[in-house]
Each structure stands twice: as C-alpha cells, then as structure tokens.
Structure 1
Amino acid sequence: MNDTAASATEKDYSATLFLPETDFPMRAGLPQREPDWLKRWEDMDIYALQREQAKDRPLFTLHDGPPYANGNIHIGHALNKTLKDLVSRSMQMLGFNSAYVPGWDCHGLPIEWKIEEQYRARGKDKNEVPVVEFRQECRAFAEQWVDVQREEFKRLGILGEWDNPYLTMSFDAEAQIARELMKVSMTGQLYRGSKPVMWSVVERTALAEAEIEYADYESDTIWVKFPVSRIQSVDGNDTDEIIAHREHLTGASVVIWTTTPWTIPANRAISFSNRIEYGLYEVTHAPAENWAKTGDKLILADKLAAEVFAKAKVENFVRLQDVPASVLAGISAHHPLRGLAGGYEFAVPLLDGEHVTDDAGTGFVHTAPGHGLDDFGIWMESTRLLQERGIDPAIPYCVDDGGFYTKDAPGFDGARVIDDNGKKGDANQRVITALAEHGNIIARGRVKHQYPHSWRSKKPVIFRNTPQWFVYMDKPIVAAGTTSPSPLVGEGARRADEGSLPDTLRARALKSIDATKFYPAAGQNRLRAMIADRPDWVLSRQRAWGVPITVFVNKQTNEILRDEAVNHRIAQSFEEEGADAWYKPGAAERYLGSDYRSEDYEMVTDVLDVWFDSGSTHSFVLRNKQKWPHLKFPASMYLEGSDQHRGWFHSSLLESCATNGYAPYDSVLTHGFTMDGEGRKMSKSLGNVVAPQEIIKQFGADILRLWVASSDYSEDLRLGKEIIQTTVDSYRKLRNTLRWLLGNLAHFKADDVVDARDMPELERLMLHRLAQLDTGVRAAYKEYDYRKVVTLLTNFMNIELSAFYFDIRKDTLYCDPISSIKRRSALTVLDHLFNALTAWLAPILVFTMEECWLERHPEEGSSVHLRLFPEIPESWLDTDLASKWQLIRAVRRVVTGALEIERREKRIGSSLEAAPQVYVADPRYIVALEGQDLAEIAITSAIQVKQNEGPSEAFRLEDVPGVSVVPALAEGKRCARSWKVLPEVGSDPEYPDVSPRDAQALRERAAAGL
C-alpha cells in the first residue's frame, strides 16, 4: 500500500543532509564586482607573476596591431582586444610564455585634423604656428587618449603590460621608424617619383589604399569626340592599308567616354585594344538640336556602337567599314579643347593598352596620365614611341592640392574639382560647356557607382599626379652601400626559394605569404592577390604630425644621399629628442656634418604614411629584448579585422620584407566586423550603435567576452538586445552549474579522494568525458576556435552535468553515509570537474573564474590565471564504458519520457513516487543494464526490468526501439530524509521513519559529532 503523504509529525532531517554550502552568489553582480578583481590583479601584479612563472617555457608572441589614439573605444575595439586576450591567455595556459604588449598608433592625419579644428575654432592659423609647437600639441592630444583607452581596455579584462606599452610616438620608436626608412633607402628601394596617387582635397594629403573606402557617388558622364588629325604607320613608312584608310577616316573622330569630365584638360592620349573589333560609323539622321549631328563620322567599338548612338539620341546610323588595330595605332587626334586659351595644340596619340575592354563606354579609354594609374602606366610604357613621334612625354600637373586647376589647364582659371567640404566644384560643368562650344561632345549623363572616399573625412578623393616618395615593388634589391643585388636577409633564406625569382620586394612578400599560416585560410589568397597586383608603395604624406622622411636629396643630381654616418646622427638625435629634432633650426648642418654642404642638399619635409609607422612596430617592439624580453621575432601571430589585409598585415609584410627579407609573423588571424542584431552596419544615424561601455555597465565585461567567444568571428558578428540577453542566459546556466559544484565541494575532504579504478561506473563515465573534453578543448584553443570551446563546455555542463550526472548523484551526495564509496567517488569527480572547468573557462570568463577559484582557494597569491590547463590522465578514457552508457541513457530517456506524462497528468508529483515497469526486447540493452541500479539512474524509488516487448499501451520513443515503459506507483513508505518511497522504510527501530541507508548515514553523522 502506498503511503506518499508526509506525516504531520514527520521529523525534519534537512539539517542532517550534506546540502550545498557556498558564499558564491547566484546573482553575479559583475558590473560592481569586476573592478575588485582588476584591483586585486593590479596589486599582486599578476602579469609579472605570469612572466616569472613561465620564464623557461617556449615563447608565444601575439603582436598587438596598434589602435589609433583619438577617441573612446567602440565595439569593434572590444571585439578585437578580447580576441587577442583569448589567444594570449589560452596559449599561456597551454604551456607557453605568452606575453602581451599593447600598443598605440599615435601619428597621422586624424590627430592633426583635430588640432587644426581646435585652431579654427579659436581663429588660429596653423601655418603661423612653429611646426615643433604644433607637433607637441598633437603629441599631448594622443597621450590623453592613450590614457583613456588604456583604462577602457583594462576594464574588458585584457591582461597585458599596460604600464609599459609601445607608442609609435615615443622617442625610441620614432628613431627606429627612421632607421627602418633609411635601411630601405640604403638598399636602393626608395625613390621620388611623379605618379597619380589618391589625393584628399579636404585633408590636403595623399592617401594609401588602406585609407580608402568605397561609397555610392553620382558622377557626370560625357561622350567626347577627338577629331582625327593624322594617320601614319607606326614605323613612319606608309602601307597600302594606311593609305586606303587615310581617305576614309578624314573628318572622322575617335569617341571616348569618361566619368571624370574635369580630367579632359589633362588628356594626352587615347587607349584602344587590339583584341576589340572597331568600325567607322556615320550618323545618317539626328535631330537638329543634338550635339551629335547628321554626317558625323565616328570610330567606335562594334559591340558598343548602338548603345553610344542611343545615348547621343541618334535616330539612324550606318557602319561604313572596319578600322583595324594596325590603323588605330597610327592615328593621332586633335585635343577636343584645341584652341582654347591658346592651349591644347599638341597631338593626341592612340596607344594599344591591355586595360581596355568593351564592357562599357566606347571601346576607347580617355588617357590622362596625371589622373589614373592605368593611364600613367601605358603613358610611361610608351615613352620611346612618343618621342619617336615627336610627342613630349612630360606629364602635366593640372590640379593643385586644393583641387584647383593650374596653369597646365589653360582656360579654366579658378575652376575647382572638389571644395574644402568635399562637394563638387564647377570644374565638370566648365569643361562640358567648353567641349560643347568646340563641337566635340555628343552626349552627357549621370551614373551612380562605387567611388573612393577617405575613410576619415568620408569625402570623395581624386587621382592626382604629384611628386611622392615610393618603394619599388619590382626593382631588384641591392645590398646596402653597393649596386649589387642582395640575397634574402637572415631567415628569408630559410623561408623562401631564392633562385626562383629576382629578389624584389614583391617576390619576397609573395614567398612570405606562402610560408604564413592564415586563420581562416581564405585570408592567404586575399593578401596574395593584393600583393601580386599592387603598384609601388607610396610612403609620403604632406603633413606635419609624423616621422619625417629622413633623407637628403642632392639638388644638382636629384640623387638620395646614402651615408651611414648621416643616418646614425639622425637616429641618435631622434632617440634623444624625438622626431621633432628634424624640424629644429640647424638640423641639416647637424646631420650632414663637415662632409657635406647643407646648401647642396634638399632636406625632405614630407612625413611617412602612418602605415609605415605601424608596419615598423616589429622592429622596435619584437626585437627590443631590453624593454620586452619575453617577445620574439617573428611574432607568432598578428590578429586584426579582415580590412587589415590591405592595412596593417599588408604594410607590416612589405616593411619587414624590405628590411629583413621575410614576414614579421608566423600566422595571421582575421575577424569580421560588428553589425547590429539585424545584420546592418552600426551607425549613429541609424541609432543602432552598441557601446561596450554600456554593456559593461549593465551586464559586466564577462558577458561581452562570452559573446565574443561564442560567435563565429570569421564572419561579421551581430550584436543587439536579444543576442546580449541570450548570452546572459547562457552565462547564468554556467554560473549555476559552478555554484552547485562549489556548494557540494564544501563537504569534500582530502581523505575523501577515491582512485578512478575504484569508482562506480557513472563516475568513471564522467572521467572518460573529462578526458575526451581535454582533447577537444585543447585542440579548439590551439586552432583559436573559441566558439567550439564554448559549445563543448556549455553542452557538457548543461546537458551532461546539470541534467544528467548532477541530477542522478544529488541523492548520493546529500544522503549517503560519510563512509559511502559512492559519495566519496562523486565528490572526487566534482573536484576533478571543478579543476578542469575553471581552467578551461578562465581565458573567456576571466572575472567569474577568478571569483569561482578564490571561493575554494582564497589564500594569498592564489589565482586561476596562474594555472595551466590541467593534465587529464589518458587512462581515464574508456570507450567501451561510454558505448555501454549510451545504451543505458537511451533507456533512461524512455523512462523519463513516460514519467513526464504522469507528472503532466498529475498522477505523480515527483519521480520518486514512481516505480515503473521497463520492458526491454533488444538484447543490447539487457546486457548494458545488467548490474545497474536503473531506479537510481532514472531517479525513481524502484524499477522492474522485464525482457519482452511490453504491452501495446506502453510508452515508447521512436529512436529507442525495443524499449517501452508502463508507469506504476512506488510501494511502501516515504523516507523522511531522502523522500524515496520504499517498503523497507521503518525497518530500523532506531530510525523508524527513514530507509536503512539513511539510518546508517544518521549513525555515522552522530558518531562524527555532526
């Protein structure tokens, strides 16, 4: 007869149970408590303790890509720095000496721009301020933001050498940046040339590709006639073909299409392709008001002719004949502005170019060598041909640094391409008007397309031919001070096959990419494609705040002075005074010394692109053993956002290859960008910006870190309220699991330890899973797959521990006698679980794991972050046992499924009220269940196992064939201590209201004085 109701006089035995005891709070209170852990780490100097502890271990160096010191950190910074911290901490715990030195990029336009804005607000003129004074204001601005960002990064839980970071503006850094530049100069790689570069009119400086972003832009488009002026064979000897076409092409025009009408005054050639079929067309009918007139004869690509005539509103046209490439190569045309203001009287040759296609336009490309790289390239390649045809190969400077036309664009005085606010000037319209007046425009329009903009000012840029300083990509590198090609330097010989290609910067970089490990692997091809196709490296900027290009140029020969003694004096002065020394009175005489006359040399005033600064950091950080003895060169890893394939990864590779012969890194890891919860780019205008400071204030930094670790960082990462809440929920489950562990371990004593070989099967199964996890977690950390780490551990803690092992073992842990081997085995397993889980989660939940660890080990100097990942014995692996328990757990699922229905229908309250009948037809399950206490495993008071199919009404699960369950109520009395319903309750006269097991537990507690 069942007796499940508690007696009114039933004794309360709760005080006799080994219930969890812990001060570890359920509510984390991370925003309030995390600063306490930061203070503790600072007081104990945990970073220095790590270095001392790991001094004899192999070095792992993640070199910090420097953030820019000009504002509060944003969510992208938080993602980047947290990933770096995950790498650094996990490699430390894997057994490396993983030092992390943070750094900052301190020079450059954004800071200079801020100081200029302050000047303008005060009515102050930058040009009236001594350059050294201006630079000192820039330095102070950067120092202020370094301090702000340092505290914000530390609040994220980032562990590093915060009291000894690197700054690109420190005197030693500026000296080394100058040395690196002078090394490039000494090996013949540096040159001053005139080439079209992307130019920001707003910011008055050249920009690198890495400083460019592409945005929608509406451009004016025009179709322009270049009247044919002359047809001759390329070698000057007229052929029958040339003579035949000369008559037919008289009065014809070559037609070009362009989206930059303002570049027409700079036109010097027309490019065509020998792969394209061209024809001579005649307009047979056009409206009188049209720019394109009846009778016009136009040379066009056959594939594009109909489209051109449609744009020009031509109603009828006819194709007269082929115009072969051999004829086009001999054509010279008049400039369409010929006669304007006495200019444009020169011949415009047609040049055969590989870059020309018939995908759009006319099949001909307007070629202004001062305003486009392809234009410049074909013009320079054709220098000899131009000279043979009597054409001056000089490239005009038609637009100045403010976007105004110069004297090289006669007739357009005062016209401007782009104004100081980045808006279109009047240049386009004035050119279009002039072309119409000359009768050489046939159509115009507008097109929306992706156009380069400065990522700082967000304003469009122009291509502009200016004198700049470049590094050759394809010129053989010579040994310093010689004219002989140099071999790859040092490690370069090991890392690359020297004999396959000439020793050029491009060859070195490509070989180095092949020797580098990329995470994800696709980054390798991306960087390789950029290096393979890039032009010479532009180093110069026309600004004041930066490291100057420390070279002297002979005014008579235009040769760069290459003298190691001069270089040494420059570097030494920078070490003592910083790069400001270059701008102080008498600097030229000081550096040139008595061997040279300062009046014979030009002292260059351009500064280095900041990408050269950050690209040089390996030389003054990784190699500086005196300042940072725990770093190594090359770095083990560079880690940044995927945009840095064209930024820091790129410039660091080129700089190191130029000076060392190989890359400064062994591996490169890239991450995506942060988007809002809907997958949109974060922007203030959309109001969807998520600030890391707000997340930390509301939830704590560990929540932000768990989000980073849980995300697939190889893609763009989404972050919004729902995603944060999901992360919070996941954190709470992990915390509650750890809290339960701590609570039970309060009863664990050193003499409770049980050897794994003596444990029950369930405990040995948990140790097997720990050994499996050890392999999986270590492998995931080694591959920087933090999402996998989180998945492995959360599934284990939520499913295998909380919902399985802990659920089963609560009765044993709370109720078993002190002497119980089962209870002691469970406590031993909990100890192993605690040691492993707190270590495995420490790189991710840095604050919570410290709190958890100190709850058990509060002694002075204790920290989870001074631990290694524990060595899990391989002997714990037992695949046969795991296979057996897969079958047992399958049976358990059928039982719990059946009891869930009973609870739902209120036929039982607790599963301990049940004693189901389990029918097993599959012999595999019978073998697995032999000797098992299935009632304990299923958390019932009793279970009967019968070897047959079971009745048709029995509960079954489709995925567990051959197992069925018929629920039944347990018989007997309820134990007042364990709440199990058993017939033997009351059999012990000393304890008549509990089971014999519980009676023995009570006796042992009494004997122990508990």
Structure 2
Amino acid sequence: MSLWLKIAAGFRNVNDNHALSPPRVTSSFFIRTIRLSGKYKRENKEYGYSLALPKTKLSLTLRDGAALQREKKIQKKFGFTSLYQWQLTQDRDQQFVLHDGPPYANGSLHVGHAVNKILKDIVNRYKLLQGYKIKYLPGWDCHGLPIELKAIKQEGEIKPLSPSIIRSKARRFAQKVVRSQKLSFQKWGILGDWDNAYQTMDVMYSVNQLNVFYEMYKKGLIYQEFMPVYWSPSSRTALAEAELVYNSNHVSQSLWLTFPVAKIPDKFHELIQQQFLDKPFYLLVWTTTPWTIPANQAICFSPQISYCCILANDNIYICCEEFLPSVNQILGTNYKILCTFNGDAFSTMIYHHPISLEELPLYPASHVTSAKGTGLVHTAPAHGHDDFHIAIEHKLPVKCLLGEDGSYLPEAGPHLAGKTVGVDANTAVLDLLGKHVLKVEDYKHSYPYDWRTQKPVIICASKQWFVNTQVLKNKAIECLRSVTVYPPLSENGMLSQLDSRTYWCISRQRVWGLPIPVFYHRTSGKPFITRSSIEHIASVFVKQGTDAWWDLPIEQLLPEHILKENNAGEATDYVKGKDIFDIWFDSGTSWSVVLKEMNYEADLYLEGLDQFGAWFQTSLLTSIAMKEKSPYKSIVVHGFTVDESGKKMSKSVGNVINPDDIINGSKDGKMPSYGVDVLRWWAASFGLHTNVPIGHTILAKCNEEIFRIRKSCRFLLGNLFNFSPSEHLVSYELLLPQDRYMLHLLYMFAQKLSELYASHRYNKMTSIIESFINSDVSSVTAMAIMVSIAVLARLSNIIYSTPFSTTLPPSFHILLRNSLNICQSLLNMKMLQPTDQSINSPLVEILQASQVNLTSHKPDSVIDDAEITAAKCSVYLKDGSTSDENFTLIILPSEKHPCARCRRSTANTPKGLCRRCLDVLADGYE
C-alpha cells in the first residue's frame, strides 16, 4: 500500500507571491532561512524581541582586500610573532622537532616555497594544539654560484673582481634576500624561531662544518682523487649529481667512424679466408661525443656479444651482429658477411688511434651492450665514469685535454687548441679524422645540464674532494628502512637513488662559499690537513670571518708551530687551496648545528620530491658518517607546482603565479586580493600531489571553500553569544536523539581528522572539513537551531538551557580547531574547550537508517537506501489516522501562509501567526 502524504513543512504553493519555491532540502535551505528570519526581523519589529536570532560582529566580506586587512589585524592582535616563544615557556612534557631544509637565498619567493613552508606550519600548529612543545628553527642556504653571479650582475660589474670583493657583494645580496624572504614567511603566518634562524654563511655554522669535514676525513670517508666529474664549462666548476637537470630535447652531433686495426689476432686466420686477410680491417664505432676522440685510450667490447666481419667497399669492418640491419645506411653500400665470432677473439687485437696513430688495445667491459651502437665502445678515461674504471683496472693514462671553460689546451695540438666543446670542437675533430668519418647526424636524447645556467655539462677528469658513498651506502640504506616516509610509495624512490649513487663530489671551483681548509705542497701537491690546522683556522674564522682564507697570508693561516708538530717544512712550501664546499655539504650538515640539543635527531623532515637525491640524502650520509644514525625519524614529500593544465611554470610561457599576487592582488588587476588563508588552504589541498596545480580557477574555488568555513563558524558563533558552559550545558541524559547523534558525528569527524593529520594527508583533510560543513553541521545543527530560534524567547534566556546548547560548543570548537591550523583568520572567533563525546548505541543506526530523500514532486520509483540531506519534519496523516504499513514521503508546496514570527508557512492567514508561535508568546509573555 502506498499513501501519498502532504507535509506542512515550511513550503507554500509556488503560485503564491510570498512563497518559497520547493527546492530539494539541503544545507543552504537552512542558512537561507536563517537569513530570511533576520531580514524579517528588521522589516517587522513586532515580534523580533521574542526571537533568539544569531548575534555576532564577525564579518563575512572578502571583497576589495578585506580578507588581507582582516588577517593583518588578527596577526597583530594575537601576537603571531611571539606565539612561538610563548609556547617554549610552557610546561609541556612532549616535544616535536621539525628540521627546516634551508631555502636558497637567491631571489623572490615562488608558490613552491609556499607549499613547503605552509605544510610545515600546518604540522607544527597541529602538534602545538596537541600539547607538544614545538621546535622549528628556520634556515637559509646562502652560498653558491647563483648568488655569486646575481650579486655581480646586480652591481653591474664587468671587469674581473678580487675574491674578497666578490664575497662582499655576494654576502650583501644574500643578506638582503634573507630579510625579504623572512618577512614574507612571517606574513604567511609561519611559526618559528625567526630571531635565531640559521644561515649557512654564519661563522659558527661554518666552524661546525669544518669539524664535520675533518672528522669524516680522519675516518677515511672524505678523500681527494683525480677522476671524471660532471663539469660545467658555463659555471667553470665541478657539479654533484644533485645539481644536474636533464634536458630530454638535447641534440648531440653523433658520429660513426672507423678505427684502423694495427694487429689482427691469430684467431682471425681461422675465421677468414686467406684472400681477405690482406685487406684493411676497421673497427666500426659510434659516439655522441666526437670531441672526446683525441683523448681515446682504448676500445671496449663484451665477451657475451656475437660480432662479425663484413666486406664492403673493399674494406673489412667489424661490428656486432645486431648492428647489421643499419650497416647499409651507414656505409652506403651492400656488404658481405665473412665470419661471426664471440668477443673473446678481440683479446690480442691492437688498433691505431685515427688521429695520433698511436697503437692502443681493446679490453672486455661489462658496460658494453649491443642495444645501441656497434657493440664496440670508444673509451676516453678522462671523459667517462666507465672509461675511468677501465683505465684504473688496466693502468691506462688519463689524459684531459680541456681547460675549465671547455676549450682544448695547447697540448691537444695546434689544430685543436682553443676550440670549445659545444661550439667548434666537434668540427675541428671531424677535420682531423678525415676519411675515418663514415656518417654524421643529429641525435636527440636526454642530456645533463647545469641546474643554474641551464647549459650542457661535460664529463672531465680533475682533482676533486669526494665523500666515500660506497662505504656509507649500506649503513644508510639500513637506517633508511626504519624511517617512515609519507607518502609510503615514495620510499622505494629514495632507496633506489641512494643505492645508485656512486660518489659525491663536494669541492667546487668558485669563490662564494666556505673554503675547504686544505694546504697543498708546492712540489708534490700533497694535501696538508691536521686537527691542529683545522682548529687554528676555525679560531681565525671566529675572529675575522671566513673571508680570512682569502685575505690573510698563508703564514697566519698555517703557523710555524703547527708545521713543526708534523715536521712539514715551512709555510712558504705550501699554497692555499682554491676550492669551496658544495652547497649540499653546507646544508647536509645542518643537523649537526640545529639538532645539537635534540640528540641530533628530528621528528620530521618535510621537503619536495627533488630532495630524495639532495638534502634528504646528504643529511643522511653525513649523519651516518658522524653518528651512525639517521637525522630524521620521518620524511614527508610534497610535489612540484604546475599550472591548471599540468604544464611546468615558466616566465616565458606566462603561467607563473606569484604568491604575493595571491595575497595582495596583482598589479594588472587579473588576480584579486585573496589574503593568506586562500594561499594556505590551496597548499593544504594540493601540496602533497606529485604535481601541485594552481591557477585562477583553483584559487577561486579555494576562496569559496574558505568562505563556507567562515560562514559556518560565524553561524555557530552567532548562536553562542553570551554562552556560558558552566551555566548552560545540559547533561547528556537530557539530550534529544538528534543532539546525541550530532555528538557522535563530531566525535567521528574529530577522530578522522586526527588520523589524517597523523598521516599527513592534508588534501583529504580539507575535503573532509568541506564535506562536514556541507552536510553534518548544516543539517543536524541548523535544524535544531531553527526550531529554537522560532520557539524560544531571548528575553527569558531559555535558549541556553535547551539540549542543542550542549551540541553547539563542541561543533564550533572542533570545526574551528581543525581549520585553524590552515586558516588563521579564524583566530578572532571565540575559542571553546571541546567536549568530545560519542555514543555506541542503536540510536546511531536508527538515525542513519531512517534517513530518506524528500522530493518536490511525485517520484517514479522509491529508492530504498536513500539519504536525507537536511532536516527532520513532523508528519501528519491527511485523515488524522495512523498506519503501520509502509509508505512513501514527498514534500509538496504548503497551502498556508508564512508566519509573521517564525517564517514557516504554517499560518492560516496572511501576516498572521502560526499555532506554535501563538503558544510561545502566550506562555512567555503573560
């Protein structure tokens, strides 16, 4: 049986000019009705005195920079700058330490900085509200080439400058940037010990770094070696792998060439007919670095690869079998296979260098494959890591014919001297090769670039200082397995990057940085470094600064008594080293300074994905070397910012968004002034994505979400004016079922958010808050408030003794508490202590299962497990009877009129009162 029931629940007939149209029942209906009640009160003051309407001075407007102005007032009023110091004075048992990876002090902040610093601040504020004493010391990375170059460019200097002048300019530039970035971070509401922030250029920081360097040196974990490193001709310095970016669109000039065979192994007399043995034999080789051919010292092969001799153009060429399909294209003619053989047959073969005609050997090597090229690899020990290992194994000379600018040195010969890699070096080499060149063509592939200059790097052998990662790697991987990584899928990436790291070059050939405190013997080149020399240099730096390394004569840096202790001759026998530390060694030792009072261990490191091979790793390696443990218990990784279409941000493309424009509005007027809260909400909502999208549409959406949060808090706050917990709270036993259910929802909401905070899933957290506002807060709480507004008289103060007065405070507090870590402008709302309660009874199931959809028209079918989105209504059967049979509910427009007091369409006459309001007025004002 199906009974269609008309429910008088607040809707008038749609044809009535005063009617509310019958939309689906949602949270916005209740908020709108509250507004209408307030409007009606202003227009019709006859019954306003008897209503308990919301009352608050909290403004909602966000237009015309209002959000920014409000945030500035709040920051000033609530003393954000002193909050960090205040919490340090509190007696708290637990401590939480987040170690700040120092941003680079080379320019203005971008949205990537915002993601990083805001996520850190959300963590710290959550821990602060959890009762922890937080330790967060911000820092800056202040050395390195980008700062050096920008400082010189900003001064407009063209002529060569002395190291002291360069360092002075670079220091002033870094100090200026630090002040600017610090001010911006504070405006973003970032809590921290800003007065004591660390900088890698600070003297005491540098002194500590010298001690770490020496201890690692004494343990054999730092050594000097002549070996190939990534070299940047544009920067004129060595680079670590972490300082490389790979350009997938790089185009190299690839070359197929021949190396003439000088001696044919006896094995070939068995493989090839005698009539062919008198013909010229050539090794067929492919390379993408023609400029390295002058430094060739060997050709490598693989014993596991099958090779062949082919006859073409009356010459015999040797290559791997897998290369045969490409031979016609390279040689420009047909060929004939004479024989096939395994790579072992090369063992006694000798070939001529095609330029110098020097006789050189072939060696087996594991890095040779047939997947690309001819199966024969040109080997220049000075210009390749695998090549260098072959040279060490077979005691080959390591010839580097290039200078620091990538140009050939005079010893390369008159035809090559002065020619530069990437400019004219390849052309000069091709001229010398002459007839040995078979084919030249462009080859597009991924190639390493200098992260600073965005120009190609080369591999060149030079004498550098290295950290022995091979010794540290296994212990580091073992320690890393006990570190919690968020998100968990990122852990394998860090492990693989650490496992694949072969070495870490920590020396750089620049001026702006901490000098590597080593002296070199003028004759032997042997380095001189002792504990006494390090301690003396440290004492000089404390008194005169690190510039003393360049400013003072060697006699003051290496005094006579230190040399006598070691029978090391006179100071004039030595020269000062010209290398500085890699900036990753600077920042990688920050744990030894910042975490000294925390047993050299932080609870959390939080940085971008690129730090897996950089700061996360360098901090781990130096900590393993010094303390044999990880400097962090947990790692959180965030993504990189892109535009709304997923493209990388670029000034040339015009898709860069400045965080200052988000807060203050852009000068061109295209970006409104959103204030800090929108920036923070965006960072929380998207920061942990691999790609962090940002754009006008996304920011506008974040602004709307912030507005809804503020509106909900304002709504709750307005119904708590003059509220006193000690006087107005109702005992749990007197609560109505819907109030108990609301407490349960609050409990579940708070528990879920705690889980999300603990697992750093902030994007999910913002989604949960938004959902909670749009459903639970609006439907259950607003329904109870609406009923009470209409029924209860403010003058009698009855409203505070109703059951929902016990539900409102925790609703307001929990929502505010969990949003406050992100949206700081909510601080000007009244803070209340929580009463987190949940119920475990059939009531929860009853309320959840009894929810149904209410529609404005007769549905074609009834959905069994539907969910109501807003309020509970009283249902009156049309004939006054009751029925135990199943029935379906629909809402139809009311035939009655809006009540002049409560605005529900239940009055019998226009501008009249409904029965309920008549009863209230009669009871409360007799």
Amino acid across the alignment from 1:636: D
Counterpart CA distance in 2 for 1:809 and 1:614 is: 56
Are the structure 2 counterparts of residues 935 and 381 from structure 1 closer, same or farther at C-alpha, using a change threshold of 3 Å?
A: closer
Are the structure 2 counterparts of residues 920 and 77 from structure 1 closer, same or farther at C-alpha, using a change threshold of 3 Å?
A: closer
- Tell whether 2:292 aligns with 1:263: yes
Counterpart CA distance in 1 for 2:320 and 2:81 is: 76
Corresponding residue for 1:291?
A: none
Matches within 5 A, 1:857-936: 873=836, 876-878=838-840, 880-890=842-852, 893=853, 896-897=854-855, 900-901=856-857
Counterpart CA distance in 2 for 1:371 and 1:995 is: 95
Corresponding residue for 2:700?
A: 725
Structure 1 residue 46, shift from structure 2 partner: 1.2
Counterpart CA distance in 2 for 1:871 and 1:328 is: 81
- Tell whether 2:802 aligns with 1:824: yes
| CA RMSD across the alignment | 3.4
SS at match of 2:632: coil
Scaled by the length of structure 1, the TM-score of the pair is: 0.81
- Tell whether 2:159 aligns with 1:124: yes
Corresponding residue for 1:318?
A: 336
- Tell whether 2:184 aligns with 1:152: yes
Deviations 1:554-613 (A, max 9, x none): 556655445322222222222333222222323454444413132344432200010100
Deviations 1:748-780 (A, max 9, x none): 344211122220000100100111112111111
Counterpart CA distance in 1 for 2:675 and 2:884 is: 56
Amino acid across the alignment from 1:417: T
Counterpart CA distance in 2 for 1:410 and 1:32 is: 70
Counterpart CA distance in 2 for 1:412 and 1:945 is: 111
Corresponding residue for 1:850?
A: 827
Corresponding residue for 1:699?
A: 674
Corresponding residue for 2:386?
A: 374
Structure 1 residue 876, shift from structure 2 partner: 2.0
Corresponding residue for 1:20?
A: 54
Corresponding residue for 1:440?
A: 436
Corresponding residue for 1:56?
A: 92
**RCO higher in structure (CA 8 A, sep ≥6):** 2
- Tell whether 2:405 aligns with 1:410: no
Are the structure 2 counterparts of residues 433 and 763 from structure 1 closer, same or farther at C-alpha, using a change threshold of 3 Å?
A: same
Counterpart CA distance in 2 for 1:113 and 1:583 is: 19
Counterpart CA distance in 2 for 1:633 and 1:464 is: 37
Counterpart CA distance in 2 for 1:920 and 1:749 is: 46
SS at match of 1:254: strand
- Tell whether 2:631 aligns with 1:664: yes
Are the structure 2 counterparts of residues 361 and 245 from structure 1 closer, same or farther at C-alpha, using a change threshold of 3 Å?
A: farther
The answer to whether the 8 Å contact 2:258/2:283 transfers is: yes
Give the alignment partner of residue 301 of structure 2, picking from 261, 264, 272: 272
Counterpart CA distance in 2 for 1:323 and 1:520 is: 51
Amino acid across the alignment from 1:354: S
Corresponding residue for 1:772?
A: 748
- Tell whether 2:592 aligns with 1:619: yes
Give the alignment partner of residue 219 of structure 1, picking from 241, 249, 252: 252
Give the alignment partner of residue 978 of structure 1, picking from 891, 902, 906: 902
Give the alignment partner of residue 649 of structure 2, picking from 682, 685, 692: 682
Give the alignment partner of residue 47 of structure 1, picking from 84, 93, 97: 84
Corresponding residue for 2:375?
A: 363
Counterpart CA distance in 2 for 1:806 and 1:708 is: 30
Amino acid across the alignment from 1:691: N
SS at match of 1:363: coil
- Tell whether 2:235 aligns with 1:203: yes
Matches within 5 A, 1:110-509: 110-118=146-154, 121-126=156-161, 129=162, 131-215=163-247, 216-232=249-265, 248=277, 251-283=280-312, 294-314=313-333, 316-337=334-355, 344-383=356-395, 393-418=396-421, 424-436=422-434, 439-474=435-470, 504-509=471-476
Deviations 1:470-494 (A, max 9, x none): 12223xxxxxxxxxxxxxxxxxxxx
Are the structure 2 counterparts of residues 415 and 428 from structure 1 closer, same or farther at C-alpha, using a change threshold of 3 Å?
A: farther
Counterpart CA distance in 2 for 1:542 and 1:941 is: 88
Structure 1 residue 985, shift from structure 2 partner: 11
The answer to whether the 8 Å contact 1:412/1:430 transfers is: yes
Counterpart CA distance in 1 for 2:891 and 2:820 is: 45
Counterpart CA distance in 2 for 1:151 and 1:921 is: 57
Counterpart CA distance in 2 for 1:816 and 1:527 is: 62
The answer to whether the 8 Å contact 2:730/2:802 transfers is: yes
- Identity percentage of aligned residues: 31
Corresponding residue for 1:745?
A: 720
Are the structure 2 counterparts of residues 224 and 425 from structure 1 closer, same or farther at C-alpha, using a change threshold of 3 Å?
A: same
The answer to whether the 8 Å contact 2:52/2:799 transfers is: no
The answer to whether the 8 Å contact 2:416/2:425 transfers is: no
Corresponding residue for 2:72?
A: 35
Structure 1 residue 136, shift from structure 2 partner: 1.8
Counterpart CA distance in 1 for 2:420 and 2:826 is: 60
Are the structure 2 counterparts of residues 240 and 122 from structure 1 closer, same or farther at C-alpha, using a change threshold of 3 Å?
A: closer
Structure 1 residue 681, shift from structure 2 partner: 0.7
Structure 1 residue 972, shift from structure 2 partner: 7.7
Are the structure 2 counterparts of residues 606 and 560 from structure 1 closer, same or farther at C-alpha, using a change threshold of 3 Å?
A: same
Structure 1 residue 964, shift from structure 2 partner: 1.4
Structure 1 residue 508, shift from structure 2 partner: 2.0
Give the alignment partner of residue 78 of structure 1, picking from 94, 114, 127: 114
Are the structure 2 counterparts of residues 735 and 413 from structure 1 closer, same or farther at C-alpha, using a change threshold of 3 Å?
A: same
Amino acid across the alignment from 1:265: P
Give the alignment partner of residue 785 of structure 1, picking from 754, 757, 761: 761
Gaps of 5+ in 1: 284-293, 338-343, 384-392, 419-423, 475-503, 626-630, 858-869, 905-918, 950-961
SS at match of 1:638: strand
Deviations 1:496-543 (A, max 9, x none): xxxxxxxx2112221122121111123222122122121221011000
Counterpart CA distance in 2 for 1:935 and 1:786 is: 27
Are the structure 2 counterparts of residues 468 and 247 from structure 1 closer, same or farther at C-alpha, using a change threshold of 3 Å?
A: farther
The answer to whether the 8 Å contact 1:231/1:246 transfers is: no
Corresponding residue for 1:839?
A: 817
SS at match of 2:606: strand
The answer to whether the 8 Å contact 2:384/2:459 transfers is: yes
Counterpart CA distance in 1 for 2:560 and 2:279 is: 65
Deviations 1:639-674 (A, max 9, x none): 111011111112112222222222211111111111
Counterpart CA distance in 2 for 1:575 and 1:942 is: 90
The answer to whether the 8 Å contact 2:141/2:200 transfers is: yes
Counterpart CA distance in 1 for 2:893 and 2:546 is: 87
The answer to whether the 8 Å contact 1:552/1:602 transfers is: yes
Are the structure 2 counterparts of residues 621 and 578 from structure 1 closer, same or farther at C-alpha, using a change threshold of 3 Å?
A: farther
Amino acid across the alignment from 1:304: F
The answer to whether the 8 Å contact 1:653/1:664 transfers is: yes
SS at match of 1:685: coil
SS at match of 2:215: helix
Counterpart CA distance in 2 for 1:573 and 1:151 is: 33
Counterpart CA distance in 1 for 2:874 and 2:173 is: 66
Corresponding residue for 2:31?
A: none
Structure 1 residue 219, shift from structure 2 partner: 1.0
The answer to whether the 8 Å contact 1:635/1:664 transfers is: yes
Counterpart CA distance in 2 for 1:242 and 1:398 is: 39
Counterpart CA distance in 2 for 1:829 and 1:720 is: 39
Structure 1 residue 808, shift from structure 2 partner: 4.7
The answer to whether the 8 Å contact 1:415/1:430 transfers is: no
Counterpart CA distance in 2 for 1:26 and 1:778 is: 28
Structure 1 residue 297, shift from structure 2 partner: 0.8
Scaled by the length of structure 2, the TM-score of the pair is: 0.88
Counterpart CA distance in 2 for 1:748 and 1:41 is: 22
Deviations 1:717-747 (A, max 9, x none): 1111111111111111111111111111115
